[in-house]
């Protein structure tokens, strides 16, 4: 079915092979010579053919980040790998190879056309990340399970499917099964699916399809709920208060506190512990709500800042375009006059006039840019000031709430110590009404043991609270620093690019008149 190893040694995808392939498929004649001399940057290549080259392993394609079409048919490839960098790939041909499993396609989210014809594939799988798949050719493989084809229902854009030559096609009900379960298809095995076939398939599998669609709908609802929960959690993380709307922080204090877990079994402690938890979780919830409120304010401030920046840039661009359009009108008039005059004095006068106008355009455009730089600098300073104040207020208020958590822990610890001293006294006098579990009784051998156990538990709880506070302070500060650095870097890059753009435009204007084919001047 698939290609056998040739007598020649398998080829390796090295720089020499890639360079040769790119040159073969690049520009021809004079353009090709120039491209060969200057070299072609792999990251600019859109299409690449590596067919009939006896390649065993897919490798060294990481530079082809803009590639949209890759043809690697008729090789001896055994595994799909090395494609993660090709995130813009839309068309992939790996037909006539020795591939046994569909894999390694996770990053190819833009893929529309996948050809795996004539390989050794036994199962359709591992393509969940290809939502745009439109054409799938897996003919002449070893797919033999009819139910496995239901996997393709997850591709709503799939219109063309080729399975011919697989064992599954020998099943008498193959065609109607595929048409029924994959109703999105237009073509199956090189043939248009007619309406009569669709109706027969639907009638035959109506009941089973109804059950399947019901299950799919439930799965979709569950998936959507999970996705929504994940998005919501991401917002909580961006607000630095994830899980503070749950008892997780309280539970984590005891999860890593073996002494506290033992002490929680103390008779009469449950009510006190429940009261402690309720108050603790209530403060955590207040922290969460304040953090989310601060997050909303931060998002609003950021959106208003970006809108202000874009408005300033748009207005600046409008002014520059107006000046350039007016200059273009003058340039057209002057060039048309230059092309009909042969008077040397007149030519020189008009060329001087043009150069003066170009210099004036340079001054105006650079003036606009400097004006925009000053305007954006002031806007960025205001934003930095506002965000710094907002972050400081957020941290200060949350630190106050976390202080309340410490106070609750300290108060609970004092009550616990008092209760344990009372229990110790009863244990020593053998006056306990209830039998203590063995692990708990071991803590009441003497005063030092129980005091040390309570102290160790208290330390664990305080460390957990301190760590959560430090995390909020650190993350909020890091976000602010990173945000401001990104804004400054973006503005710096924009300014450099604009200055280069203006300079290139002015150079182009000067070249235009220098290369103008003027009539021969007559003195």
Flag whether 478 is in a domain.
Answer: yes
Flag whether 231 is in a domain.
Answer: no
Q: Is residue 257 located within the same domain as residue 209? A: no
Flag whether 470 is in a domain.
Answer: yes
pLDDT band at 1 (very low <50, low <70, confident <90, very high): very low
Mean pLDDT of 16-21: 92
Distances (CA, A) of 141 to 94, 100, 114, 181, 356: 12, 9, 14, 21, 72
Spell out the long-range contacts of 190-198 with Cβ–Cβ below 8 A and sequence spacing 24 or more. Answer: 190/162, 190/164
For 51-70, how does the pLDDT look when each residue is reduced to its tens digit (9 = 90+)? 999 999 999 999 999 999 99
Q: Is residue 83 located within the same domain as residue 188? A: yes
So what's the pLDDT on residue 95?
A: 98
Q: Is residue 458 located within the same domain as residue 360? A: yes
Q: Is residue 210 located within the same domain as residue 280? A: no
For 214-242, how does the pLDDT look when each residue is reduced to its tens digit (9 = 90+)? 999 999 999 999 999 999 999 999 999 99
Flag whether 9 is in a domain.
Answer: no
Q: Is residue 213 located within the same domain as residue 270? A: no
The total of structural domains in the chain comes to 2
Flag whether 239 is in a domain.
Answer: no
pLDDT band at 439 (very low <50, low <70, confident <90, very high): confident
CB 130 within 8 A of CB 105: yes
Handedness of CA 463, 468, 472, 478 (dihedral sign): positive
Q: Is residue 314 located within the same domain as residue 420? A: yes
Q: Is residue 159 located within the same domain as residue 284? A: no
What angle do the packed helices 248-255 and 447-514 form, to 10 degrees? 130
For 239-290, how does the pLDDT look when each residue is reduced to its tens digit (9 = 90+)? 999 999 999 999 999 998 988 888 888 888 889 999 999 999 999 999 999 9
244: helix, coil or strand?
Answer: coil
Percent of the chain with pLDDT over 90: 76
Q: Is residue 24 located within the same domain as residue 156? A: yes
As a whole number, the mean pLDDT across the chain is: 91
So what's the pLDDT on residue 27?
A: 60
Flag whether 473 is in a domain.
Answer: yes
Flag whether 4 is in a domain.
Answer: no
Domain region containing 411: 248-514
Q: Is residue 211 located within the same domain as residue 272? A: no
So what's the pLDDT on residue 521?
A: 62
So what's the pLDDT on residue 35?
A: 47
CATH of residue 32's domain is: 3.80.10.10
Flag whether 230 is in a domain.
Answer: no
Q: Is residue 263 located within the same domain as residue 116? A: no
Q: Is residue 437 located within the same domain as residue 474? A: yes
Which one of 161, 190, 223 terminates a domain? 223
Whole-structure pTM value: 0.73
55: helix, coil or strand?
Answer: strand
Which range among 26-35, 118-127, 134-143, 505-514 shows the weakest confidence by mean pLDDT? 26-35
Output the six-digit token pair for 373: 């730089």
pLDDT band at 444 (very low <50, low <70, confident <90, very high): confident
So what's the pLDDT on residue 30?
A: 45
For 31-41, how does the pLDDT look when each residue is reduced to its tens digit (9 = 90+)? 444 445 556 78
So what's the pLDDT on residue 186?
A: 97
The residue behind tokens 């299409």 is 47
């Amino acid at each position: 079915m698939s290609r056998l190893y040739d007598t020649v040694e398998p080829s390796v995808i090295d720089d020499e092979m890639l360079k040769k392939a790119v040159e073969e498929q690049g520009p021809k004649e004079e353009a090709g010579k120039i491209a060969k001399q200057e070299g072609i940057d792999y990251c600019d290549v859109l299409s690449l053919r590596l067919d009939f080259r006896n390649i065993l392993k897919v490798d060294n394609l990481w530079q082809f980040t803009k590639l949209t079409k890759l043809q690697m048919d008729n090789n001896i490839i055994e595994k799909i790998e090395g494609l993660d960098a090709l995130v813009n790939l839309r068309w992939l041909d790996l037909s006539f190879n020795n591939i046994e499993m569909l894999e390694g396609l996770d990053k190819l989210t833009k893929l529309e056309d996948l050809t795996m014809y004539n390989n050794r594939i036994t199962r359709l799988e591992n393509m969940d990340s290809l939502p745009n798949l439109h054409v799938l050719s897996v003919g002449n493989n070893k797919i033999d399970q009819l139910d496995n084809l239901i996997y393709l229902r997850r591709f709503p854009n799939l219109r063309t499917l080729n399975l011919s030559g697989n064992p599954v096609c020998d099943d008498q009900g193959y065609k109607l099964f595929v048409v029924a379960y994959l109703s999105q298809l237009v073509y199956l095995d090189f043939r248009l699916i007619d309406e009569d076939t669709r109706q027969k398939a639907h009638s035959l599998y109506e009941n089973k399809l109804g059950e399947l669609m019901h299950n799919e709908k439930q799965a979709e609802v569950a998936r959507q709920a999970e996705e929504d929960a994940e998005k919501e959690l991401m917002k909580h993380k961006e607000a630095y208060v994830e899980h503070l709307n749950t008892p997780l922080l309280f539970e984590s204090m005891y999860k890593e506190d073996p002494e506290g877990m033992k002490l929680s079994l103390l008779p009469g402690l449950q009510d006190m512990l429940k009261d402690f938890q309720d108050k603790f979780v209530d403060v955590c919830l207040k922290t969460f709500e304040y953090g989310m409120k601060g997050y909303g304010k931060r998002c609003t401030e950021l959106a208003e800042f970006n809108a202000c920046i874009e408005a300033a840039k748009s207005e600046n661009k409008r002014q520059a375009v107006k000046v350039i359009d007016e200059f273009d009108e003058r340039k057209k008039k002057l060039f048309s006059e230059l092309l009909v005059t042969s008077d040397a004095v007149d030519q020189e006068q008009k060329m001087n006039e043009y150069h003066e106008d170009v210099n004036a355009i340079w001054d105006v455009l650079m003036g606009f840019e400097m004006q925009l730089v000053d305007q954006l600098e002031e806007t960025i300073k205001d934003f930095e000031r506002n965000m710094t104040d907002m972050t400081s207020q957020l941290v200060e208020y949350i630190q106050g709430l976390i202080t309340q958590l410490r106070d609750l822990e300290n108060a609970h610890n004092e009550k616990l110590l008092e209760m344990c001293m009372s229990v110790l006294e009863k244990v020593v006098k053998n006056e306990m009404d209830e039998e203590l579990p063995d692990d708990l009784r071991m803590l009441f051998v003497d005063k030092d043991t129980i005091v040390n156990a309570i102290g160790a538990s208290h330390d664990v709880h305080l460390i957990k609270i301190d760590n959560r506070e430090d995390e909020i302070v650190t993350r909020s500060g890091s976000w602010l620093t990173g945000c401001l650095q990104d804004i400054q870097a973006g503005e710096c890059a924009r300014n450099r690019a604009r200055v280069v753009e203006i300079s290139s435009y002015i150079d182009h204007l000067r070249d235009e008149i220098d290369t103008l084919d003027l009539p021969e001047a007559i003195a």
